[in-house]
Structure formats: C-alpha cells, structure tokens
A and B are shown apart, each in its own frame.
Chain A
Amino acid sequence: MVGLIWDPIIVTAVMLLGAGIAYLILITARRIAAPKPSASKLATYGCGEEVKPDETHADSKQFYSPIHRVLKPFYRYIQPAHTGILSHYLLWVVIGFIVILVAVALVLR
C-alpha cells in the first residue's frame, strides 16, 4: 500500500537533485564572493570580547526554552516527578496496574 503513494527511489533521486542544485548555487556564490578567512575573522566575539571555543557552547538545558515555556504544565509536574526514588517508581507501577485492571474489566465485562 505504501508503494502506491511513496516511491523511495524516485523521491531520493529528486532529493539528491535538489541537493546538487543547492551545491551548485553555493559554489557559484563562492566564486563571485570568494571567502578570505583570517584568524580574526574566524574568532568568536561577545560584547567586543573574544570568546574561547570552550565557552561558546549553547546551553543544552536552555536549547529549547520556548518549548519549555509553551509546555509549562508538563515540565512543572511530570518532569520533577522523575525523582529517581525507587519507592515513587514502584508506586507508579501499582497505580498503572490498577488503571489497566479497571480498563481491562471495562473492556471485557
């Protein structure tokens, strides 16, 4: 059924063709405005100061802070519930079992 709608070989060929065209545009652009790298051009700056490579790393916790803000209830209640405390996790298993038992009873009886 998937084959009727999706032909991976053709799609891949189209994607490679698109990538090839993009690469050609890139090469052409580089010929028109050839890059002339120098140490000062390649360095990273913050507020006029040069920043060391080790300090330029994006904070992985803040990487998706907008998503964090949009889904505040999840990150306020569900994430902190992953406490790492075994007894909490065992309680989840018990609650999960009760929910499944009720669901199975409702489905079958």
Chain B
Amino acid sequence: MIEIPPIVAIVLPLFGAFLTPIIAIVSRRFDVERKVCGWFMVAIMIAMLLVVVSMGARVWGGEIIIYKLGGWDPPWGINLAIDGLAFQMALMIAGLGTLVAIYSLAYMKRDSRFDLYCTLILLITAGMMGIVLTGDLFNFYVFLEITCISSYALVAFRRNSDAVEAGIKYMIIGSLGTSILLLSITMLYGSIGSLNIADLGQKLAMAKAGAEPVPMILVVALALFVTGIMIKVAMVPFHAWLADALTAAPTAISALLAGPVAVIGIYWVARIPYLPFGMPVGVILVALGIISMVVGVLMALVQTDFKRMLAYHVISQKGYMVLGIGLGTTLGLQGGLFHLLNHSTYKCMLFMCAGAVLHRTGSQKFDELGGLSKNMPITSSVFLIGALAISGIPPLNGFASKYTIYLAGVDAGQPIITAIAVLVSALTLASFLKAFSSVFLGQRPERFKDVKEAPMQMLFPMCVMAAICIVIGLLPALGFNIAGPAQTAAMNPGNYISQVLGGT
C-alpha cells in the first residue's frame, strides 16, 4: 500500500486555495463558476479527509508519524509529528470541514464572490491542519495566523455593518492573542534556544530540574502562552469576541468556527500541561473551565437571538472540555477530548439548523419565529437531537462524554465540580427547551405558512451529524476508540520526545 506523506493533508487545501481564483476565472467564461468552485472545494476536502484517514491505522497502532521537511532531522529542521492527539484533531477538522463545505454549497447560494469564500474556506482548513500536525512552535504560529486571518475575513464576509463590526472586534482581540503567543514563543526561543516542540520539551525539563524555583522568564512565557490559547478557546474573561463573531458571520462560518476551529484551541489546552512546558497548570484550567461553563450557560439562558444563544453555549461547553483536561486524570482528559469530539459535531449541526431556519425565514430572532416544525420537520428533528445531545440527555453522545467528566470530578475527589457540571447541564437543557419551543413549537405566524424544508445539500450534512450523535451515544466505545489514543498520546510526552528526536 502506498503511504501518503502527512504534508499532503496541509498542501492539498493550501494549493486548492491558490487554484480556486484561477478556476473561477476560467469557469466564469462558461457561466458555471459557482458550481465548479463549490465542488472543487468539496473534492479537496474529501481528498484531505482520505489522506487523514489513511494515517489512522499507524497512529492507533501506537506509532507517531514523523515527516521531516526537506529531509532535515529535528530539531534542526521543521517536522510534522502525528500522534493520537494530533490525529483526533486532524480527523475532526477534515470530517467536519467537509460537511461544512457541502452545507455551504446551498447556504451561500444567494451570496456573491463565492470563489473568494471557497478560497478562504480552503485556506482556513490548511491553517487548522497545519496547527495540529506541526511539530514546530514557530510553524504553529504561522499556521495560526493563516487560520485567524482567514477567519476574520470570513466573519466579515457579508460586509453588512454587524458583520464588519464583529470582524473588526474579532480581528483586534484575535491579533492580540496571536501576538501574545508570538511573545511567548520568542521568550522560549530566547531562553531555551529551540523551536521544535519535542526538543523544547526535553530542554525545558532539564532547565526546570536544574533550577529551583522555575526561572521567571519561563513563568511569564507560560502565562503568555496560556493567555493566548485561552483567547483562542474563548474562555471567560477572554470570550467577548466569540458571541459577536458567531452571530454576525454567515451561518456556515459560525458552524465552522464552533466546530473545527474550536478544535485547535482545545488541542493546545490538552498539550500545554505536558508539552512543551510540562508544568502543572491544571488548577488554572479547572478554574477557567468552571467559570466559563457557568457564565456561558447563564448568558445563553437570556438570549433572544438563535445564533447568539448557540454562541454562548460554545463557551459553556468548551468549559467542560477545559475542566476535564485540567483535572489531569486519565478519565478527565479522556472525557474532555471525547466531549470535544461530540461537541464539535452537535454544535456544528445546531448552527446548521439555525442556518436552515435563517435561510428559509430570514430571521434568527426567537420572538419572530414559531411553529416551524410543521414546515421543517427534518430540521426540527435534527435540532431536537442536537439539543438533547448538548444537554447530556441519554442515549445521545453528549451524555457519554459529560458522564465521563462527571465521573472524573468524583474520581479526582472533587464532587462539587461534578455537581456544578450537572447543574450547568440542567440549565443547558432549559435554554434549549426555550429555543426549541420558540422556533419549532407553538403557533406559526401567518407569514411562515409557505416556508419549505431546507435544501437537500443543507439537510445531508445535518443528518450525517445527527446520525453520528445517535451512533456514538449508543456505542460510546467508538468515541473512546478515538479519544483514548489521543489521551494516551497527550499524557506521554516522553514517547513523543523520543520518537521525534530519535534518541538524540
């Protein structure tokens, strides 16, 4: 069997992005620009997904796939390192990204400049893929900038006043986050002299062992790194950009930001306590997780806008993941990473449902909607599945991962954390009952009498995600088979270092 180099997973969407404008110019002559650009984007996404899936057997077999760029050995050259954790993230980015691309074909039908949209989608995907696959810290920064700049443009894509304002806010806060991360990387390079994650991990461990207390420059570098990542993850109090951005962006982009883009922040939350820093920041993560869970859900309860409510739930649900990872136990980390897998799926799906309603009715305000289950039975059923999943109702996937986090709290001797997590789940259910009741139940306003079900290209990805929610809920072992190797890889930095550096 031919082995596909992992770099192809990054190069495919990157070159696809550069090719899209050329394809658009050519296909414009035959008046098939929209179709050709859209399906080219989907084809690239599917090819990328296949490349990622092809790495699965080796990674789940315990191997870390190392790809040396230009044949240079690490730490001298840049390398890609795909362990269980990176693989879970890459799989989610490629899988959910593909579904968002298919959804966009119908959702963005009324928008002009579709070739630009496809270019940005491919560019953001290349950036995300690079972030999770790279083994080099500066390379991570470069890919992060590619992801962020593409996402700022996508949030402001429709160029109305709300979108532009949200885009500018996101850009300024996001740029502050990336600058903070760059400063941290600079400090690490200045004090340790390496940018390779494995090499940094090894040298930092030696530096800490030889110096007690930990040097101040490393304390500041770690604090900056945690802050930068928390801005990306949108933990309270760094969360303010998220609600505006997800509300104002085209809903396909909201789904992308809530699903695949959320992955990259949590990937680094799972890495930080072990690599490259290897310092105990669990208590900080637990505190941020709990605050975000509570603030997110209480803010969501009082929202009157469909997408803004979902955006606050993104903050709340990410709190669960950060909390689970912060507990630092096997169960906690597994629960956090499993919840990431589940949350990205159903949150992407819930945003797609909101998009379907917006697409057909032109409104995302609860007070203007109602009774749409008669007109949009598939959308309402899918939304109900997502609402029950996010609320942790059995037998859906959200229950399996939340239950693991509840157990992790008790297992860590912190039953109060479990109690808060259960209470937040109850409030989440309350919030989604309100949303379901306001949008799909009750009396239907006269003007929505002729509203039709969403187009097939929008329903297909929604139904696929709903099926994933049910299947993983009924067979949670499938989810644990992905999150388990990811947790093992994250908690075993020694193996990562030795395999990347090859015993140097």
Contacts and interface: CB of A to CB of B under 8 A. Distances in A.
A45 interface: no
Nearest to B231: A93
A92 B240 contact: yes
B299 A79 contact: yes
Interface residues of A, number: 47
A103 B366 contact: no
Interface string A1-30: 111001011011001000000000000000
Interface in B256-304: 279-281, 283-284, 287, 295, 298-299, 301-304
Given A57-B438, A64-B434, A92-B238, A97 B475 contact: no
Nearest to A88: B240
B395 A53 contact: no
A95 B231 CA distance: 13
A108 interface: yes
Nearest to A71: B298
Given A59-B367, A93-B173, A101 B438 contact: no
Given A8-B473, A74-B298, A57 B370 contact: yes
Contacts of A100: 223, 226-227, 230, 284
Interface string B212-242: 0110001110111011001100000110110
B477 A3 contact: yes
A1 B303 CA distance: 37
B476 interface: yes
Contact of A90 (B173, B331, B404): B173
Contacts of B480: 2
Contacts of B283: 103, 107
B176 interface: yes
A1 B407 contact: yes
A104 interface: yes
In this complex, the member of A11, A59, A74, A89 whose beta carbon has the largest number of chain B beta carbons within 10 angstroms is A89
A18 B218 CA distance: 58
A68 B366 CA distance: 18
A15 B394 contact: yes
B442 interface: yes
A16 B353 CA distance: 25
Contacts of A79: 299, 302
B243 interface: yes
Interface string A64-90: 100110010011001100101010111
Interface in B289-328: 295, 298-299, 301-304
A53 to B, nearest CB: 4
B446 interface: yes
B386 interface: no
In this complex, the member of A11, A74, A96, A104 whose beta carbon has the largest number of chain B beta carbons within 10 angstroms is A104
Contacts of B474: 8-9, 12
A107 B280 contact: yes
A105 interface: yes
Interface in A47-62: 52-54, 56-61
Given A9-B474, A59-B367, A93 B280 contact: no
B17 to A, nearest CB: 30
Contacts of A12: 394-395, 474
B442 A90 contact: no
Contacts of A101: 219-220, 223
B364 to A, nearest CB: 12
Interface of B: 168-169, 172-173, 176-177, 180, 213-214, 218-220, 222-224, 226-227, 230-231, 237-238, 240-241, 243-244, 279-281, 283-284, 287, 295, 298-299, 301-304, 331, 366-367, 370-371, 394-395, 400, 403-404, 407, 427, 430, 434, 437-438, 442-447, 473-477, 480
Interface of A: 1-3, 6, 8-9, 11-12, 15, 44, 52-54, 56-61, 63-64, 67-68, 71, 74-75, 78-79, 82, 84, 86, 88-90, 92-93, 95-97, 100-101, 103-105, 107-109
Closest 7 CB pairs of A and B: A53-B443, A60-B366, A89-B240, A101-B223, A109-B213, A92-B237, A12-B395
23 contacts: A6-B394, A6-B403, A8-B395, A15-B395, A54-B443, A54-B445, A56-B443, A57-B367, A58-B442, A60-B304, A61-B302, A67-B301, A79-B299, A89-B169, A89-B241, A93-B176, A93-B177, A93-B227, A95-B237, A100-B284, A101-B220, A103-B287, A105-B223
Given A67-B301, A108-B213, 11 more contacts: A6-B394, A54-B447, A78-B298, A84-B244, A86-B168, A92-B237, A93-B176, A100-B227, A101-B219, A101-B220, A105-B219
